[in-house]
Every structure is written in C-alpha cells, then in structure tokens.
C-alpha cells in the first residue's frame, strides 16, 4: 500500500494486528509500533499514552485525500486488510 502524505505524516498498514479498523470518531489512539510499522490501539482519551483523536472515519477507501480539509487534522492513517479499508483523519488527543 502506498499512503500519500498531504503535508502531514501518512501511516499505513497491511496487517490487521491493530485496532484502527475498530476506531470511531472521538476515540483516542496511541501507536504501540513505529511510524514505519504502526500498531494503533484505542485508549482512554485522558490516559497518558493517548496520542491522537479520531476526527473523521472514511470507510471503504485507502485514499488519504479523504482527509483534505478536516479541521485540526495532523496525521492521516490508511488501514487496509484483505477484508477492509478505512482512512482515519487524526488530530491531537488533547
């Protein structure tokens, strides 16, 4: 998968090991992996490890351009497995 940055860091993953495919608007996430191999986990927004808040969820695509114009967006995460594609538009957790 190729994730194209929109002037922000674009994260991408093929495996289904993380919880990105379960994230909903308002959820907070932390990356237990690296920028090159992310492993996003849903966490309590008040918890210390919360890094990102989901601002928008765009199902059935891996096009990071789906986050263009989302207010407060700092990063884009494109998730793709054999069964599902989703793009998360992420802002700061706090």
On the CB side of 40, CA atoms within 13 Å amount to 29
Residue 75 has pLDDT above 60, yes or no: yes
Global confidence as pTM: 0.80
Residue that has been written with the tokens 């998968």 in this structure: 1
Beta carbons within 8 Å of 94's beta carbon, 6+ residues apart: 45, 50
Q: What is the mean pLDDT of residues 61-68?
A: 94
What pLDDT is attached to residue 5? 40
Residue 14 has pLDDT above 50, yes or no: no
Judged by phi (left if over 0) then psi (alpha if -120 to 50, else beta), residue 10 lies in beta
pLDDT band for position 37 (cuts 50, 70, 90):
confident
């Amino acid at each position: 998968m190729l994730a194209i940055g929109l002037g922000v860091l674009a994260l991408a993953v093929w495996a289904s090991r993380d919880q990105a495919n379960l994230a909903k608007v308002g959820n907070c996430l932390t990356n237990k992996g690296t920028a090159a191999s992310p492993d996003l986990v849903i966490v309590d927004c008040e918890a210390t490890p919360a890094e990102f808040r989901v601002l928008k969820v765009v199902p059935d695509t891996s096009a990071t351009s789906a986050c263009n114009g989302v207010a407060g967006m700092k990063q884009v995460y494109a998730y793709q497995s054999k069964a599902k594609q989703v793009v998360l538009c992420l802002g700061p957790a706090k």
